Amino acid sequence: MRVMVIVKASKDSEAGVLPTEQQLADMTKYNEELVKAGVMLAGEGLHASAKGVRVKFSGAARTVIDGPFAETKELIAGFWLWQVRSMDEAIEWLKRAPFDGGTEVELRQVFEAEDFGEEFTPELREQERKAWEQAARNAQK
């Protein structure tokens, strides 16, 4: 199963405070362990919401809202995408993460094609497969 590991923003991350050299070294070592174990599929840190925008959809209308956004506890500072056997395995990996100071992290299972049942027809599955192949080629550029 794939799991999205969502690292919640903090006052520091929203203020643009960057990690120390030691924090970067610790996180790099942790990421290397995840990669060697075949767990980590992707992972990135995100800039503060001041550099972001939101787009609100209301019928045909699209409204762009510039950051920063007020509710820090609802913002994301970074993420991983992991491949694990179970949510328990994901939790055990996450417990080893080199976080401190009240960092909050959310784990969410990612939908797989099988989760959508018959509504996800063979034609739609093939269309999605082709789109993902193109996305992978785009990532190589």
Model pTM score: 0.87
Same structural domain, 104 and 117: no
Query: How confident is the model over 13-38, as pLDDT tens digits?
Result: 999 999 999 999 999 999 999 999 99
Same structural domain, 85 and 103: yes
Same structural domain, 18 and 50: yes
Give the count of domains, the chain: 2
- pLDDT value at 100 more than 90: no
Same structural domain, 51 and 17: yes
User: Domain of 50: which CATH number?
Assistant: 3.30.70.1060
As a whole number of angstroms, the distance between CA 55 and CA 62 comes to 6
Q: Specify the pLDDT at position 48.
A: 94
As a whole number of angstroms, the distance between CA 35 and CA 129 comes to 24
Q: What is the domain range of residue 69?
A: 2-110
Same structural domain, 51 and 88: yes
As a whole number of angstroms, the distance between CA 21 and CA 27 comes to 10
